[in-house]
Structure 1
Amino acid sequence: MMVRYEIGDIVKMKKTHPCGSDQWEITRTGIDFKMKCMGCGHHVMIPRPKFEKAVKEILQHKESES
């Protein structure tokens, strides 16, 4: 089963960021994912395969705009 990740989703990663947070907001999707740390606001870009291995769970889906 393929999981759909969308901009605005909050995900929990397997490893924690040096600031202590393990929650990230997705700000860009595609071949690479751009994410913002919910603890300190740091932005990182990682390739899709590495991102998909590192995600533990989706904590919050983006609110629908209907």
Structure 2
Amino acid sequence: MNHKFSIGDVVEMKKQHPCGSKEWEVTRVGADFKIKCLGCDHQVMLPRTKFEKSIKKVIKSADDIIQP
């Protein structure tokens, strides 16, 4: 996936979280990514390579929000 991720992005993962949600919010970027489940607020840290392989699509990009 050729995408620059930023804090606040909402992504859909390939596998479902045990709570039933597939949507996660990116809360930290770098060599490791920290993501928060939007279903139950559980937070997970993943290495960049595993994160990029696990993504199905970007639902909402933080860049799409127009800032005044």
* Fold similarity call, TM over 0.5: yes
Question: Which stretches in structure 1 are left out of the alignment for 5+ residues?
Answer: none
Indicate the percent of aligned positions where both proteins have the same amino acid: 53
Task: Tell me whether 41-50 or 55-64 shows the greater mean CA deviation.
Answer: 55-64
Question: Which stretches in structure 2 are left out of the alignment for 5+ residues?
Answer: none
1:19 counterpart SS class? coil
What does residue range 1-66 of structure 1 map to in structure 2 within 5 Å? 2-62=2-62, 63-66=65-68
The letter of the residue matching 2:51 is F
- Stretches of 4+ aligned residues off by more than 3 angstroms: none
Q: How many residues align?
A: 66
2:2 counterpart SS class? coil
The letter of the residue matching 1:59 is I
Scaled by the length of structure 2, the TM-score of the pair is: 0.91
Whole-Å Cα distance in 2 between the matches of residues 64 and 8 of structure 1?
13
